[in-house]
């Protein structure tokens, strides 16, 4: 197992090793390993209930694993926080699967929550200005800062959640199903925004998604969660070269093919073609072995 207590070089802001999570008898993760590279958008995919959100919650300390090691930005998350630690939670932003906005606060006030928590010394006026800037950065009109979540469309709520996630100028951004429930145009706009923010702010993004278009559009690599582990991490062409049945079904099923066709990328299409032929050949010879991460 990797020694996570080596000096932090910055190359992998998130390192998970030997992670096991269980709820009672229900084992969710078993000896799971994952490293996220600095500056990448890492897509995380897997069937519903495979533990993507639980993995994210474990990384950000909202879920105590049964065992394993988790290091975020060089800090061992399994050890209790030291008083002298710069509060690690101020160095990431999270957009939760359900949005998780406070319904009794306006969008602007929602964005102010983390600012108040981590920088209580900031004046009310400056805090309000920062919040409004983040609202604009997330692609919402200025007046959205004064609206309550119930007054927003689904897409606007996602952007409001993103504004709050960006409140503290994070180094890491965690997005759990950011485009779920959005129409294709809204989803594509959110993808573009994520990519732009990643590039201009130098973020590392941990992006859980079911959205194949998102994977093709903005992810540098994709991690596949199955069988309680990350069974593979790589670029989409690298994943297409594997003969795992879930990976083949996911990327080469009808929806995967449609998303790929939309990309208009001959290289990717060739990779998919080859992988589909290999999958057929593997099926014919009854050889459907799992390829490890």
Ligand X SMILES: Nc1ncnc2c1ncn2[C@@H]1O[C@H](COP(=O)(O)OP(=O)(O)OP(=O)(O)O)[C@@H](O)[C@H]1O
Binding site for ligand X (CB under 6 A): 23, 28, 46, 48-54, 97
Q: Does 209 bind Mg ion (CB under 5 A)?
A: no
CB of 54 to ligand X, least distance (A): 4
Pairing relation of β-strands 172-176 and 204-208? parallel
Is the distance from CB of 232 to CB of 197 less than 8 angstroms?
no
CB half-sphere exposure, 174, CA atoms < 13 A: 23
CB of 132 to Mg ion, least distance (A): 31
| Strand positions, DSSP E, 132-237 | 172-176, 204-208, 221-226, 229-234
CB of 97 to Mg ion, least distance (A): 5
Contact segment (CB under 5 A) with Mg ion among 33-41, 91-99, 133-141, 255-263 equals 91-99
Dist CA 142 CA 134 (whole Å): 10
Which of the choices Mg ion, ligand X, none does residue 132 contact, using the CB cut-off of 5 to 8 A by kind?
none
CB of 243 to Mg ion, least distance (A): 27
Please list, in sequence order, all residues whose beta carbon lies within 8 angstroms of the beta carbon of residue 143, skipping any fewer than 6 positions away. Answer: none
Which of the choices ligand X, Mg ion, none does residue 164 contact, using the CB cut-off of 5 to 8 A by kind?
none
Angle at 82 between CA 173 and CA 123, to 5 degrees: 60
Pick one of 53, 106, 209, 248: the residue that binds Mg ion (CB under 5 A).
Answer: 53
Which of the choices Mg ion, ligand X, none does residue 50 contact, using the CB cut-off of 5 to 8 A by kind?
ligand X
In the stretch 225-264, what mask flags binding to Mg ion with x, by CB under 5 A? ----------------------------------------
Which of the choices Mg ion, ligand X, none does residue 188 contact, using the CB cut-off of 5 to 8 A by kind?
none
CB of 50 to Mg ion, least distance (A): 9
SS3 content of the chain, % helix, strand, coil (to 5): 45, 20, 35
Number of residues forming the site for Mg ion (CB under 5 A): 2
Helices (H), strands (E): how many in the chain?
10, 10
């Amino acid at each position: 197992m990797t020694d996570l207590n080596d000096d932090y070089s910055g190359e992998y802001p998130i390192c998970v090793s030997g992670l096991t999570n269980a709820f009672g008898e229900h084992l969710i993760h078993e000896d799971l390993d994952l490293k996220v590279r600095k500056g990448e958008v890492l897509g995380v995919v897997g069937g519903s209930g495979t533990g993507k959100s639980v993995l994210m919650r474990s990384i950000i300390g909202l879920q105590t694993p049964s065992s394993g090691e988790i290091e975020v930005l060089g800090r061992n998350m399994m050890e209790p926080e030291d008083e002298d630690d710069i509060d690690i939670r101020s160095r990431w932003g999270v957009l939760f699967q359900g949005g998780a906005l406070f319904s009794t606060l306006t969008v602007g006030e929602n964005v102010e929550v983390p600012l108040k928590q981590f920088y209580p010394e900031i004046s009310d006026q400056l805090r309000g200005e920062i919040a409004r800037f983040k609202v604009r950065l997330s692609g919402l009109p200025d007046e959205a800062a004064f609206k309550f979540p119930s007054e927003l469309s689904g897409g606007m709520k996602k952007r409001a959640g993103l504004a709050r996630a960006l409140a503290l100028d994070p180094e890491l951004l965690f997005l759990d199903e950011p485009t779920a429930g959005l129409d294709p145009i809204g989803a594509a706009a959110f993808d573009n925004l994520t990519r732009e923010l990643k590039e201009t702010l130098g973020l590392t993004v941990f992006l859980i998604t079911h959205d194949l278009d998102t994977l093709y559009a903005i992810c540098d690599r994709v991690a596949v969660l199955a069988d309680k582990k990350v069974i593979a991490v790589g670029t989409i062409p690298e994943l297409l070269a594997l003969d795992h049945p879930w990976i083949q079904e996911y990327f080469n099923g009808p929806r995967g093919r449609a998303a790929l066709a939309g990309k208009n990328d001959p290289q990717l299409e060739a990779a998919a073609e080859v992988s589909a032929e290999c999958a057929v050949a593997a099926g014919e010879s009854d050889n459907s072995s799992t390829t490890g991460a």
